[in-house]
């Protein structure tokens, strides 16, 4: 009998669940979308029960499609976005919608922390060198304390998305250090009472911290009855989605780089040495450090455009089996010359994280003329996201002193041959398209394989389960053309920063009215 591993990728817009054999071959994959709620500007929420229902539905679907005996699934690992807080009472009931990482309501709370904890003290308590962003856990908890204090009084546990799923699967409360970043100290994986006392947040509401491949529980009888999973199947802690994607991309060696184009678009390089520079995200992944960052609305920028202006593409795709509206958008983008006739897009439609860390930033098309068509706007979006990840990578390379020659690409955006070529041309680097693009689910499965001793470590898991399918070489003539536009792109945000702030202040005044 063969052994199989199951991975759950609890994404921002959809849950993707996959079953893989121990050579990385996909046996079955299922996806289920769920809504995002934006009741006010800068707010972003989701219903945790939507997540759980999607997990149950996709588990049933993959088990049915695979035809395998559930007893042959040796372990389960999940990944999910951070930071997205689920508040539970003492009976395990969800108390409110989860606040997702895209939410920017806690800006004032972030400013308070920056003012009251200097850089040295924050690093001492949290092990995190980043400036405090409004999406970080302590900011969210402060906002709840100040605006919904009765909810905090009822809260028994606050969990990250995949930790909530693990609780539903096993009944256990657990998290990993990266998912708990901002609350736990990343150096020693401990919570500090001094820090929680300063925030005025009870420390008992956070779950214990475990390594990502620790078995933290087993599938319960109730879950077995509703999903057909085998009762007692081990479930590991899992990791935040970006880290699962790194493992699923084979980011296990010094100098390797990846581009994970999902809702966000994360890019970075692995280094044996810790390095940091302003604008970066740095996190330990086993014995290496990920040095890079993410643009908040990578793939989401294209999805927003499709949902808002892509009605024709959607209608055509609905009439032709197997055709995706994104394929039609690819064709439109490919019909336009590189540079989109000087049309530039800033992908800050939900604020921005790396490298500017500004929740007030706004999306922008600039350079519009009468010759620009819808196809130009599609290509400009793809190029704008590529400019953003180039901006991040250049800072990461400088900090790490690593020159990246090739970049592994995965995620939903990695399906687009046009977008992959645009990125290769903008960055001037070779892109490696992986055989398995759903690296979040694959990474979760690999962690499960480590936790159940199928693999001795992450390098053996990567060697056996991660495979390159295609090499995309950059067109250096296009790269030289993009160089000029990239420099213009980088100069736009500093010019518009104060304008973005004024627009946000105007939004706030409208809410008060």
Band (472; pLDDT cuts 50, 70, 90):
very high
pLDDT the model gives residue 41: 81
Query: What span, in angstroms and rounded, lies between the C-alpha atoms of 503 and 361?
Result: 9
Q: What 3-state class would DSSP assign to 149?
A: helix
Residues contacting residue 199 through CB under 8 Å, at least 6 positions apart:
138, 141, 142, 145
Q: Same domain for 96 and 193?
A: yes
Report percent pLDDT > 90 for the chain: 86
Distance CA(494)–CA(52), nearest Å, equals 42
Q: Under a CB-based contact definition with an 8 Å cutoff, are residues 303 and 381 in contact?
A: no
Is residue 184 a part of any domain in this protein?
yes
Q: Is 216 helix (H, G, I), strand (E, B) or coil?
A: strand
At residue 35 the predicted structure's pLDDT band, cuts being 50, 70 and 90, is very high
Give me the pLDDT at residue 279, please: 87
Q: Are the C-beta atoms of 271 and 291 separated by less than 8 Å? A: yes
Shortest CA distance to 28 belongs to which of 71, 3, 54, 58? 58
Q: How far apart are the first and last CA of the chain?
A: 66
Strand partners, 351: 349
pLDDT at 95: 98
Q: What percent of the chain has pLDDT over 70?
A: 99
Sign, CA torsion 395/401/407/408: negative
Annotate 34-92 with DSSP letters as a single string.
Answer: ---B-SSTT--EE-HHHHHHHHHHHHHHHHHHH---GGGEEEEEEEE-SS-BEEE-TTS
pLDDT band at 133 (very low <50, low <70, confident <90, very high): confident
Of the candidates 461, 495, 352, 488, the one whose C-alpha atom is nearest the C-alpha of residue 3 is 461
What is the per-residue burial (b if ≥16 Cβ within 10 Å, else e) of 294-310?
bbbbbbbbbbbbbeeeb
In CATH, what number is assigned to the domain containing residue 334?
3.30.420.40
Flag whether 502 is in a domain. Answer: yes
**Which residues contact residue 307 at a Cβ distance below 8 angstroms, ignoring those fewer than 6 apart?**
none
**For residue 9, is pLDDT > 60?**
yes
Query: Is 398 within the bounds of a domain?
Result: yes
- Mean pLDDT value of segment 389-400: 97
Rounded mean pLDDT, 318-325: 94
Q: What is the predicted pLDDT for the residue at 17?
A: 98
Q: What is the pLDDT of residues 181-223, one digit of tens each?
A: 999 998 899 999 999 999 999 999 999 999 999 999 999 999 9
Q: Which of 167, 188, 210 is the last residue of a domain?
A: 210
Confidence of residue 131 (pLDDT cuts 50, 70, 90): confident
One domain, residues 370 and 487: yes
Section 107-133 average pLDDT: 89
Q: What is the mean pLDDT of residues 114-123?
A: 91
Residue 503 three-state SS: helix
**Model confidence band, residue 12 (pLDDT cutoffs 50, 70, 90):** confident
* Cα gap 13→15, rounded to integer Å: 7
Residues 205 and 310 in one domain: no
Are 205 and 303 in a shared domain?
no
Three-state secondary-structure class, residue 431: strand
pLDDT value of position 1: 67
Instruction: Please give the average per-residue pLDDT across 358-366, as a whole number.
Output: 95
Residue 353: both structure tokens together: 């994280």
Considering the domain architecture, whether residues 206 and 349 belong to the same structural domain is answered as no
Q: What is the count of structural domains for the chain?
A: 2
pLDDT at 135 over 90: no
Question: Can you say whether residue 341 is alpha, beta or left, with left for phi > 0 and alpha for psi between -120 and 50 degrees?
Answer: left
- 197 with 303, same domain: the answer is no
Whether residue 69 lies inside any domain: the answer is no
Same domain, 375 and 501: yes
Q: Look at the block and give the residue holding tokens 């999805």.
A: 303
- The whole-number pLDDT of residue 281 equals 87
Tell whether 497 and 397 lie within a shared domain.
Answer: yes
Residue 471: burial class (beta carbons within 10 Å; 0-12, 13-18, 19+): exposed
CA 334 to CA 343: how far, in whole Å? 15
- 359 domain residue, yes or no: yes
Residues 359 and 499 in one domain: yes
**Local structure of 161: helix, strand or coil:** helix
* The Cα angle at residue 282 between residues 495 and 464, in degrees rounded to 5: 125
Handedness of CA 435, 441, 445, 447 (dihedral sign): positive
Q: Has residue 465 been placed in a domain?
A: no
**pLDDT for residue 513:** 56
- Cα dihedral 21, 26, 27, 33, rounded to 10, equals 130
Which residue range forms the structural domain that includes residue 193?
84-159+177-210
Q: Rounded distance, CA 443 to CA 249, Å?
A: 8
Buried b (16+ CB within 10 A) or exposed e, 436-458: bbbbbbbbbbbbbbbbbebbeeb
If we measure between CA atoms, which residue out of 242, 241, 264 comes closest to residue 348? 264
pLDDT at residue 511 in the model: 60
Q: DSSP H helical segments within 127-280, as ranges?
A: 137-147, 149-154, 161-170, 193-199, 221-227, 241-248
433 located within any domain: no
* pLDDT higher than 90, residue 97: yes
Predicted pLDDT at 170: 98
The more confidently predicted of residues 267 and 283 is: 267
Interior/surface letters 229-258, b for 16+ CB within 10 angstroms, e for the rest: beeebbbbbbbbbbbbbbbbbbbbeeebbb
- pLDDT, mean of residues 402-421: 96
Calculate mean pLDDT across residues 157-180: 96
pLDDT tens track for 288-311:
999 999 999 999 999 999 999 999
Answer yes or no: is 487 within a domain. Answer: yes
């Amino acid at each position: 009998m063969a052994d199989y591993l199951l991975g759950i990728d609890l994404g921002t817009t959809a849950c993707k669940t996959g079953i893989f054999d121990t050579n990385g071959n996909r046996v079955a994959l299922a996806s289920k979308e769920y809504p995002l709620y934006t009741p006010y500007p800068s707010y972003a929420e989701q219903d945790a029960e939507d997540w759980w229902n999607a997990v149950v539905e996709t588990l049933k679907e993959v088990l049915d499609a695979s035809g395998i005996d559930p007893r042959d699934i040796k372990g389960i690992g999940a990944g999910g976005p951070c930071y997205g807080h689920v508040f539970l009472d003492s009976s395990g009931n969800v108390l409110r919608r989860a606040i997702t990482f895209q939410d920017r309501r806690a800006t004032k709370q972030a400013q308070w922390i920056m003012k009251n904890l200097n850089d040295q003290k924050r690093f001492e308590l949290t092990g995190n060198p980043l400036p405090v962003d409004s999406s970080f856990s302590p900011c969210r908890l402060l906002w709840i304390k100040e605006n919904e204090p009765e909810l905090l009084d009822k809260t028994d546990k606050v969990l990250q998305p995949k930790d909530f799923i693990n609780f539903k699967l096993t009944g256990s409360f657990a998290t990993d250090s990266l998912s708990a970043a901002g609350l736990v100290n990343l150096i020693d994986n401990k919570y500090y009472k001094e820090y929680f006392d300063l925030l005025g947040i009870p420390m008992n509401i956070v779950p214990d911290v475990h390594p990502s491949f620790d078995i933290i529980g087993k599938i319960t009888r109730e879950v077995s009855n509703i999903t057909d999973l085998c009762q007692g199947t081990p479930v590991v802690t899992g990791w935040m989605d970006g880290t699962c994607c790194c493992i699923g991309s084979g980011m296990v060696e010094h100098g390797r780089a990846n581009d994970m184009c999902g809702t966000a678009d994360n890019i970075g390089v692995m280094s044996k040495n810790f390095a940091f520079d302003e604008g970066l995200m740095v996190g330990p992944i086993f014995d290496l450090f990920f040095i890079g960052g993410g643009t908040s609305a990578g793939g989401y920028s294209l999805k927003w455009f499709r949902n808002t202006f892509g009605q024709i593409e959607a209608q055509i795709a609905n009439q032709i089996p197997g055709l995706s509206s994104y394929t039609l958008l690819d064709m439109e983008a490919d019909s336009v010359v590189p540079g989109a006739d000087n049309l530039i897009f800033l992908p800050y439609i939900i604020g921005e994280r790396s490298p500017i860390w500004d929740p007030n930033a706004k999306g922008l098309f600039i350079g519009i003329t009468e010759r620009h068509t819808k196809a130009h706007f599609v290509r400009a979006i793809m190029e704008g996201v590529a400019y953003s990840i180039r901006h991040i990578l250049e800072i990461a390379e400088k900090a790490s002193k690593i020159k990246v020659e090739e970049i592994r690409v995965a995620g939903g955006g990695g399906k687009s041959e046009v977008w992959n070529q645009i990125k290769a041309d903008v960055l001037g680097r070779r892109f490696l398209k992986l055989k398995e693009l759903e690296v979040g689910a694959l990474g979760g499965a690999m962690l499960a394989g480590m936790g159940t001793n199928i693999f001795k470590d992450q390098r053996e898991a990567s060697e056996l389960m991660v495979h390159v399918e295609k090499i995309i070489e950059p067109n250096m003539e296009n790269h030289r053309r993009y160089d000029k536009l990239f420099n213009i792109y980088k100069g736009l945000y500093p010019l518009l920063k104060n304008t973005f702030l004024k627009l946000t202040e105007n939004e706030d005044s409208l809410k008060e009215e």
